[in-house]
Amino acid sequence: MNISDIERGVSVRTRVKVPIRPRAGTFDFEPEMVTFSGLCDNAEHLALVFGPPGAVPYVRVHSECLTGDVFGSSRCDCGEQLHEAIMQFGACGGILLYLRQEGRGIGLYNKLDAYRLQIVHGLDTFAANRALNFPDDSRDFRVAAQMLQALGVYEIALVTNNPDKVAQIARHGIEVNRSVCTGVFANEANRRYLHAKVVHHQHAINLSGDYR
C-alpha cells in the first residue's frame, strides 16, 4: 500500500504495556499504550492496543471528556462509551484512540462555560458553542488517521454513532469497513444533549427505548 502524505513524518514514539482496571469488574487488562511523534496538531494523543490487531480491528476514536471519563458526569454519555469500549476490547481485542479534544475541541474551560449557558439559558450543546463563537464541532479527526497509519492499520471497523467521524477518517486514508454503534446511555440529565446530537448531526442514537 502506498504511504499517504498524511502518514509521512508520523511515527510511533513509545510503546509500553500498562495494567488498567475498568470501572466495572475486579480484573485488569494490560493494553499496550502507544505515543506518537509528528502528529499534525502536536497534541499528546494516545492509542491503547488491546491484543494483536486483527486484519480489520475494531477501533474506537474517543475524544477526551474529563467531566464524563474521570468524574462520571451524567450530562453526557462519554464515560459510559469509553468504559464500554475498554470492556469490549479487553475481552475481544481492538484499538482505542484517546484524543485530547476536550469539549469537541474547545477545551475544558470553554466547555464548562457552554454548560452554564445550557443550564441558565436553556441552550442545547451546539447553540451554546455558537453563543461562545465556536463551531458546533471543532474536532479534526485527521490525527486519528495518522495514528492508525503509524500503527500499520488501514482498514477498520469503527465503533461510533457519529457519521462525521466516519467520513473524516475515511477521507484521510483509512477504509472504514463498517461502523458499529455504541450502547445508548441515556438518563434524565443527558437526554436533551443526546437528542440534539441526533437532530443536528444525525448521530445514530436510538432514544425511543427506556434509559439504560
Q: Which residues are catalytic?
A: 137, 139
Q: Closest by alpha carbon to 17, among 46, 44, 49?
A: 49
| Integer Cα distance of 120 and 143 in angstroms | 35
Cβ–Cβ < 8 Å for 180, 89: no
Q: Report the alpha-carbon distance of residue 163 to residue 131 in Å, rounded.
A: 24
CA gap 13, 200 in Å, rounded: 38
Q: Distance (Å, rounded) from C-alpha 143 to C-alpha 47?
A: 11
Q: Are strands 32-37 and 46-50 parallel, antiparallel or unpaired?
A: antiparallel
Q: Tell me the C-alpha distance between 12 and 147, whole Å.
A: 8
* C-alpha atoms less than 13 angstroms from C-alpha of 132 in its C-beta half-sphere: 26
